[in-house]
Structure 1
Amino acid sequence: MGEFHKMHGLGNDFVIIDARLQSIEISPTRAQMIADRKFGIGCDQLILLLTSEIADVRMRIFNPDGSEVEACGNASRCVVALLNQDLNIETLGGIISGKLSGNDVEVSMGEATFGWQDIPLAFAMNTDAMPLAWDNLAAPMAVNMGNPHAVFFVDDVDAVDLRQLGPTIENDSVFPERVNVNVASIAGNEIHLNVWERGAGLTGACGTGACATAVAAIRQGKATSPVTVHQSGGTLTIDWSPGQPVIMTGSATYVFKGQADWDAFG
């Protein structure tokens, strides 16, 4: 039997396994089975903690479809809260540093990048206003926050059917590594955001999506830092200045600890 922790950041929920303390191999099939909400434990992402040679801990992140992704802001906050200490976390998207901040956790997500090769895109184009459209969603800004994001600003975020458009945009050939789809409306420094998350679908909260959207709003002069980002699962504060790391602050909630026979999951 192995131990796991169930946590969430604004409803974005995780099964966290500390593989430094137990032996477990994660394949795409096993990740899918653990994440399944009817036949497994159930989560938006499976998080595997490992030893790191360059940071305090290494974090691997698996989506419910079994794919492995580069970064997750909500999971990073949960890992800091779980281990109850300030941490540097190694991810495929780079080093994320986090620290306890009262009842919240503050994480430095690294610098946002904007080059078409950084996103990446299939060919060169203006990433501040991509000359592309899907139905009524047009001219998104592309941002890499350790993982790829397309950010659309609209008048009414809830009028956009992301369940329909999200999969189409995520899997468009212009995004060779697929993309996270962010649709947002702005009022002052308040952003209301819905996210179709690559490999996971419509989510109540996406930390890197909140960062990418706030960065896009600040870069385009639509808002000034710090920005408050509201998602259906809750609220994050994003602080960013050009050339500096993106700082995200929000809650991380421990739900329960459990045990499972990992061999039962494929």
Structure 2
Amino acid sequence: MIPYQKYHGTGNDFVIVDASNRVPDRSAFAMDVCDRETGVGADGVLFLHLEAQFNPPRVVFTLFQPDGSTAAMCGNGARCAARWAADRVPVDEDEDPDAPRAFMLDTQAGTRRTVVEGDEVAVEMGAPAFRPLDVPVDAFGAFEDEELGGYEVTAVNTGVPHAVAFVDDVDEVDVEADAPAIRHADVFPEGANVTFASRREDGGFDQRTFERGVEGETRSCGTGAVAIAAVAERKGLVDPGEAVSVTPPGGELVVAVDENGMATLRGPVEYEFDGEVEAPPVRILDA
């Protein structure tokens, strides 16, 4: 049996497995465990290797998605990973247990610094990239406000590619019907997450995201929240460094993109429960 812990960040939920546990077929494991009808139910499985001997402690981060694929980065997953690590690294006797604690995450998108302060976790997300080669998107220049699937779309990479569309009211969007045409558009050679945003009267943004790899809408998406803030700043809707409230269905996130273009994502993380599951046999794919 494989022990696991379940965490969520604003409703974006993950099964976390210590990478020291042997799971022969991680892809098959994620497909089984993430299934909300027959498995535990999650938006992804995080395999984490904690290296507590470093200062700050380091976590090697690997995310498998419900379709069995991997993703280079996940904002809420990174925040959950940091909270998981904080729950496992004891505080020294001479340290304030309520003081912020730093952890370094080694992801496929690069090393990310996180800070855990109680139930709030912040992660440095790096610089959102608009260059076509970095997204990637088939375009000669930045792919901005281009008509795609009936929406004006801007492409940005915030660790993973996002197609961002600003609309009058995200609640009026039929995400499951409209997003797949954008997610699978030929212009995105690796596909894209699709994020819809609408501005609120208080200056913040409401968010809904269709996630690549989940192949459906999730209750929250951290890289999508960062994508909204980055595109909003590029459009002049927010000032550089301004803390931007982004609210997906699962709760509020706060994003800031500083004058140097570096983004930070902050929000709550909650531990849910522990459990055990069987590791499925290795699946042999047909040639």
TM-score scaled by structure 1?
Answer: 0.92
Kindly, what percent of the aligned residue pairs are identical? 34
Q: Which residue of 2 aligns with 1:143?
A: 156
Q: Which residue of 2 aligns with 1:30?
A: 29
Q: Does 1:152 align with 2:165?
A: yes
CA 1:260–1:133: 2 relative to 1, 3 Å? closer
1:1-266 alignment, distance < 5 Å: 1-20=1-20, 22-50=21-49, 56-84=58-86, 85-129=101-145, 131-135=146-150, 137-138=151-152, 140-187=153-200, 188-200=202-214, 201-224=216-239, 225-263=242-280
Deviation at 1:162, TM superposition (A): 1.0
Q: Any idea what SS the aligned residue of 1:194 has? A: strand
Mapped contact 2:24–2:282 kept (Cα < 8 A): no
* Partners of 2:6 and 2:227 in 1: CA distance: 26
Deviation at 1:23, TM superposition (A): 1.9
Q: Any idea what SS the aligned residue of 2:252 has? A: strand
**Range moving further from structure 2, 89-98 or 240-249:** 240-249
Runs of 5+ consecutive residues of structure 2 not aligned to the other structure:
87-100
Deviations 1:179-238 (A, max 9, x none): 011111113531011111112110110000001111110121112311000111000011
Give the letter for the 2:69 counterpart.
Answer: S
* Partners of 1:143 and 1:164 in 2: CA distance: 22
Q: Number of matched residues?
A: 261
* Partners of 2:138 and 2:25 in 1: CA distance: 30
Q: Which residue of 1 aligns with 2:90?
A: none
Q: Which residue of 1 aligns with 2:98?
A: none
* Partners of 1:155 and 1:34 in 2: CA distance: 37
Give the letter for the 1:232 counterpart.
Answer: P
Q: Any idea what SS the aligned residue of 1:3 has? A: strand
Q: Any idea what SS the aligned residue of 2:196 has? A: strand
Q: Any idea what SS the aligned residue of 1:211 has? A: helix
Give the letter for the 1:5 counterpart.
Answer: Q
Deviations 1:94-152 (A, max 9, x none): 112101124301111111111000000134243233x33212x12x1111111001111
CA 1:182–1:31: 2 relative to 1, 3 Å? same
TM-score scaled by structure 2?
Answer: 0.85
* Partners of 1:265 and 1:202 in 2: CA distance: 29
Give the letter for the 2:212 counterpart.
Answer: R
* Partners of 1:163 and 1:222 in 2: CA distance: 27
Give the letter for the 1:248 counterpart.
Answer: L
Q: Any idea what SS the aligned residue of 1:234 has? A: coil
Runs of 5+ consecutive residues of structure 1 not aligned to the other structure:
none
* Partners of 1:62 and 1:19 in 2: CA distance: 12
Mapped contact 1:186–1:222 kept (Cα < 8 A): no
* Partners of 2:11 and 2:74 in 1: CA distance: 14
- Rg (Cα) greater in structure: 2
Mapped contact 1:12–1:44 kept (Cα < 8 A): yes
- RMSD over aligned CA atoms reads 1.9
**Range moving further from structure 2, 188-197 or 142-151:** 188-197
